[in-house]
Amino acid sequence: MKFLWGAATSSHQVEGNNKLNDWWAWEQKGKIEGGVRSGRATDHWNLFKEDLKLAKEIGLNSYRFSIEWSRIEPEEGSWSNEAIEWYGELLGECERNSLIPLVTLHHFTSPLWFAEEGGFSSPQASQKFLPFVRKVVRTLGNRIPLWCTFNEPIIFCVGQYLAGFQPPAIYSPEKCSLAFRSILKSHVKAYDLIHSENKTRKGPWRHQKLLVGYAHNMMDFMPSRDWHPLDRLLTLIAREFYNFSWLDATTGRKQRFGITGLVPFSRPVSSAGGRTTTDFIGINYYSKAILRWRPKSETYETASGLPFGISFSSNQEPISEMGWGFHPSGLGRMLRSINQYGLPIFITENGIADGQDTYRSSFLLNHLKEVAKEIDNGADIRGYFHWSLLDNFEWIKGFRPRFGLIEVDYQTFNRTIRPSAIFYKELIESHHEGHLAPSSAILKNYDSKLLKIQQK
Ligand code: BGC
């Protein structure tokens, strides 16, 4: 399999008018910064052909997107043929533009009917999620070689039930723990179902080995004060809980999701026990995360109920529009730490919010150098997906942070390729038209090119 040089999006962030999910409802309640709503988002629903053409034009050979459950199953048990057909067309466009699809089944949004019944904190959640997976597998599945069941399960649990940045934004450590359990159960059921039903495939990637995994967010946690026992303890707990609990649970190791005294430990899922229920590890990596016990300064984000703060940048360093510093070495560290699981790895997301495009090229180069270094050290890394193909609706932050390789004008919906996308294209082309994995020797040549771009 050739290396996948790609970019990623998610349904709610780009399609527009996803009116039947929990995020849409939350937005109407004014929960997004500045009271913004996703509305037409980037209008990908109508402009997907143009977007995929642009993806090809900038040299990509793969596209990660998600299928919106609330479109496919707007009410429980009722299916939208129109939505299924649209995703069929999207897959067709991938085929025409030689973009191998990596399809995510759940990227933060759930149908309103499901959310109203308690979402993933309900014990019935996996039974309700499975019919959707089955529908997708039976109608579209034979054209999809690569799957992510869930996007960022841990962020999803934490955002909904601990930190309040995802609907329903209820502080409930018990629900957080129940949600983890249901998501794990749903993941395992989806993993088994896709493998058992997807025996015959068609289309250009029919010979591509079927791989089913997920996209798991990892951060490079570190203590704010090296000498402070509580900052250090927080760091250890965060690594265990946030970075490794999901990985351990899906590789048949221990199932211990919880934090003593804060989040009750979830009951093990028997179907996940003693076996590996993923074919690869997909990681979404963005930044470092500095932890501090009861911080006083405003540079630390806090959530009510939690006795610590988190900062995504160190003092004085340049930051992105999200307030995140640049920390490529953290990606290398994360890759080394997951190599112990002995599975293929994809970087399913990595990117920067940078509307002026000042830092994106160097961000790309420096993170890819880390990927190349780990490949040299023997890691089985099979793809890199930049977040994002397009500027998009950045959840609670609305449209302000601009993550796109391609700029979107939200008045006219015109697309413009950013210079960093051309830089990415050149990088890809110099790796034998994208057939090679990132190579340290090739990437070295780009230091001087970058300098020239920066001097312009
Ligand atoms: C999510 C994306 C999001 C990105 C940048 C990831 O956590 O999967 O949906 O836009 O980070 O915040």
Q: Residue 357: name the closest of 381, 321, 332 by CA.
A: 321
Cα–Cα distance for residue pair 69/201, rounded to 1 Å: 22
Residue 161: pLDDT band (50, 70, 90) is very high
Q: What is the pLDDT of residues 18-63, one digit of tens each?
A: 999 999 999 999 999 999 999 999 999 999 999 999 999 999 999 9
Give the tens place of pLDDT for each residue, 245-287.
999 999 999 998 999 999 999 999 999 999 999 999 999 999 9
How many helices, marked H, and strands, marked E, lie in the chain? 16, 12
Beta strands 406-408; 415-417: pairing state: antiparallel
For residue 304, pLDDT beyond 80: no
> 121: Cβ below 6 Å to ligand 1?
no
Q: Give the residue, out of 65, 395, 400, 405, with the most ligand 1 atoms within 8 A of its beta carbon, to mutate for a pocket test.
A: 395
Tell me, what's the pLDDT at 38? 98
pLDDT tens column, 173-204: 999 999 999 999 999 999 999 999 988 899 99
453 pLDDT above the threshold of 80: no
| pLDDT at residue 93 tops 80 | yes
Distance 422 CA to ligand 1 centre (A): 23
CA nearest ligand 1 atom 9, residue: 10
Per-residue confidence (pLDDT) for residue 450, from 0 to 100 = 86
- With a 6 Å cutoff on the Cβ, whether 151 touches ligand 1 is yes
- Please indicate whether residue 66, judged by its CB atom, sits closer than 6 Å to ligand 1: no
Q: How far is the CA of 282 from the centre of ligand 1 (A)?
A: 14
Three-class secondary structure of residue 388 per DSSP: coil
Calpha distance 331→337 (Å, rounded): 10
Position 303 scores a pLDDT of 83
User: Which residue segments constitute the domains of the chain, with CATH numbers given?
Assistant: 4-215+330-455 (3.20.20.80)
CA of 157 to the centre of ligand 1 (A): 14
Report the nearest atom of ligand 1 relative to the CA of 217.
Answer: 7
pLDDT of residue 57: 98
- Residues 217 and 242: their CA atoms lie apart, in Å, by 8
Q: How far apart are CA 81 and CA 96, in angstroms?
A: 22
In the reported structure, the alpha carbon of residue 102 is separated from the centroid of ligand 1 by a whole-number distance in angstroms of 16
Tell the residue nearest (CA) to atom 3 of ligand 1.
394
pLDDT at 456 over 80: no
Question: In this prediction, what percent of the chain has a pLDDT beyond 90?
Answer: 94
CA-322 nearest atom, ligand 1: 12
At 230 the pLDDT is 97
Q: Which of 150, 223, 141 is nearest to 187 (CA)?
A: 150
Atom of ligand 1 nearest to the CA of 388: 10
Give the atom of ligand 1 at the shortest distance from the alpha carbon of 155: 7
| Chain segment 320-378, per-residue pLDDT in tens | 999 999 999 999 999 999 999 999 999 999 999 999 999 999 999 999 999 999 999 99
> Does the Cβ of 387 fall within 6 Å of ligand 1?
yes
Atom number of ligand 1 nearest to Cα 215: 8
pLDDT of residue 84: 98
CB atoms within 10 A of CB 357: 18
**Mean predicted confidence (pLDDT) in 216-238:** 98
CA of 350 to the centre of ligand 1 (A): 9
**Distant-in-sequence, close-in-space partners of 245: CB < 8 Å, separation ≥ 6:** 154, 180, 256, 257
Tell the burial category of 91 from Cβ atoms under 10 Å away from its Cβ (0-12, 13-18, 19+): buried
